[in-house]
Amino acid sequence: MQKNNIVFLNLRNNLNYLRQTPNVKNLSSTRTIYNNYIPPYAKDIKVKSYDGFYFVFFMFFYIIIFQFIGVPFKLPLFIILISISLFLIIRGFKRYIIHNILNNTPFSKIHIATYGLDKVKGRFIPFGSQPLKSPISGQDCIYYSISTFYIQSRGSNNNSNYGYYFVDGFDAGIPTLFTDGTGFLAVDLEKAPIVEVRTNIIEIIPNNSQNHKIKILNFNDAKRISDEILQYIKYAANNNIQANLSYIKNYKFIIGNDIIRNLKRYIPDVELKNSIFHNKSGVKISSWNYVNQNHLYLVEQYIPINEDYTIIGGFADTGEMINMKPVKVTVPDMSTGILEVRLSNFYRDEFLIKAVAYITLGIVYLITGILVII
């Protein structure tokens, strides 16, 4: 079996990285030399984010509330409700506008795509190396991350504590290009704020016997179990093969429904639980008992090479060629700042439904705020 030269990122020794996100997502290993060939006109194009605006927006209203702290309670409550409603309505309209822009933008071909807003469909391919094998699902990919998460239930320690913790993880990637047959793209996965991946969520359950008792009572127990299981998975990863979890003694694994999610977004505990509630194994789970127990999850996220992706943004010429086909590099769109890497089945009704839900909920908060002040 041919081994790949893979560098693993161990997050226990990277505190700055942990402050940004609880899950592993080191993507620099997917870069190629073509990622450095960004033309001067495209270097100053930035990805646009409204997070800073939302932060300033809420801070502004919190300051106002502080100034009026001595007035009757109705005014601060009214301001809070109105600020929340405006936030939700703005976010909903933003989603709706982006949904329309992206759906009305026709698919282009790489060889004619420009630095204006374009949308291309194709697949990732390894560049100068063999594909990676995702260690748990065994799928060919160009990047994967493996991580473990621990949830301490509300029923622990006399109902005094509830916690959600990243435990440990590692990831690997290989240099990659994106192609649709007409040309090649060097995709900046680090810069793109949205990179969708296939995600497998698995719950780790101690398979206790009379002579072997394993309990998950606290974070240290979760860490010890995580180390044992990740050691086995790392061995498979180093040999670029699939790990057979059934060979790991003393544990059983409930495999949840696989999902598509944004690699750049932290994994919330509700996402872990929902996947297990709708697990592939057909195991029926009582929600009441479930939330009153501690849980340890194993999460695999990967970018497959056998599925179509859609890349939305701008595409700048590098002046380079591969097999007489142009090589371009992704940049944010000049007008909207959009740069997204999506699985091709993303543009479905759920995105529009979320926009409507945000707007509707915002209107509810608005009406509530008006009723409070009347």
Domains of the chain, by residue range, sit at: 11-36+115-343, 46-112+346-374
End-to-end CA distance of the chain: 74
Q: What share of the chain is helix, strand, coil (3-state, %, to 5)?
A: 35, 30, 35
pLDDT at 5: 39
In whole numbers, what is the pLDDT of the chain averaged over residues?
79
Q: Please give the average per-residue pLDDT across 45-71, as a whole number.
A: 53
Helical (H) or strand (E) element with 219:
helix 219-238
User: Is 239 a residue whose pLDDT tops 90?
Assistant: yes
**Which of 266, 244, 252 is closest to 133 using CA atoms?**
244
pLDDT at 19: 38
List the single range of 59-63, 91-95, 256-260 with lowest mean pLDDT.
59-63
Q: Report CA-CA distances (Å) from 250 to 106, 202, 239.
A: 53, 16, 24
Q: Which residues contact 58 (CB under 8 A, 6 or more apart)?
A: 83, 87
d(CA 187, CA 331): 8
- Whether residue 298 contacts residue 148, with contact meaning beta carbons closer than 8 Å, is answered with yes
Model's pTM, two decimal places?
Answer: 0.77
CB atoms within 10 A of CB 30: 25
Q: How confident is the model at residue 195 (pLDDT cuts 50, 70, 90)?
A: very high
Q: Please give the average per-residue pLDDT across 98-122, as a whole number.
A: 85
d(CA 31, CA 128): 12
pLDDT at 204: 92
Phi, psi of 340 (to 5 degrees): -135, 145
Structure tokens at 330: 């992704």
User: Is 18 a residue whose pLDDT tops 70?
Assistant: no
* Residue 6 DSSP code: -
* Residue 334 DSSP code: T
Phi, psi of 230 (to 5 degrees): -65, -30
Phi, psi of 4 (to 5 degrees): -95, 150
pLDDT at 17: 35
Q: How confident is the model at residue 40 (pLDDT cuts 50, 70, 90)?
A: confident
Percent of the chain with pLDDT over 90: 35
* Residue 212 DSSP code: B
Structure tokens at 201: 């969520």
Q: Which residues contact 147 (CB under 8 A, 6 or more apart)?
A: 22, 23, 24, 166, 167, 168, 169, 267, 298, 299, 301
User: Is 164 a residue whose pLDDT tops 90?
Assistant: no
pLDDT at 45: 60
List the single range of 51-55, 267-271, 348-352 with lowest mean pLDDT.
51-55
